[in-house]
Amino acid sequence: MRQRIATRVGRSLVVIETKDITHFSAEEKYVTAFTAKGRIHFDATLKALEIEFAEEFIRIHRSHLVRRSLVSNLRWDAYSASIGIDGTETRLPLSRQRVGVVRNLLRARDGATVIATLDGTLPPSMLASPQTAPALRAG
């Protein structure tokens, strides 16, 4: 696994430490790596990054990989789900296929989340899960 990612910006070579990356987002044929200090665009595929950084990042959507340790919460609204990134105001969309994986990640990390829709009810897919009830009461 790489410790740094480098790319050319104009005539300069920009290098960022992979430990500083909060998430990757893909648009067309480029990937953007986000850090607390900024972002860099580089030529890569999200699939290749997902394989290379599988222990540290989790795919939450076809266009986004997020550092596992920074997934802070899971939020539902009327039609979709999103996740928050710890230490930032960033919210990213969460695909329906990835909800279970993110939910399990959050449960494994000492109840770091409250899962509910904006009206305070649980999504139908979660009604059978007794483990979510304590999290809702605690919030």
> Residue 133 — pLDDT band, cuts 50, 70, 90?
very low
**pLDDT score at 71:** 93
**pLDDT score at 73:** 87
Kindly report, residue by residue over 12-33, the tens digit of the pLDDT: 998 999 999 999 999 988 899 9
**pLDDT score at 103:** 86
Could you tell me the two tokens for 112?
Answer: 């770091």
Could you tell me the two tokens for 71?
Answer: 């997934």
Instruction: Compute the distance between CA of residue 43 and CA of residue 97 in angstroms, rounded to an integer.
Output: 26
**pLDDT score at 29:** 83
Could you tell me the two tokens for 61?
Answer: 């959507």
Residue with the bigger pLDDT between 111 and 2: it is 2
Kindly report, residue by residue over 38-55, the tens digit of the pLDDT: 899 998 999 999 999 999
Domain architecture of the chain: domains with CATH? 4-138 (2.40.50.1020)
Kindly report, residue by residue over 79-129, the tens digit of the pLDDT: 899 999 998 999 999 999 999 888 888 888 765 544 544 444 444 554 444
Q: How, if at all, do strands 30-35 and 21-27 pair?
A: antiparallel
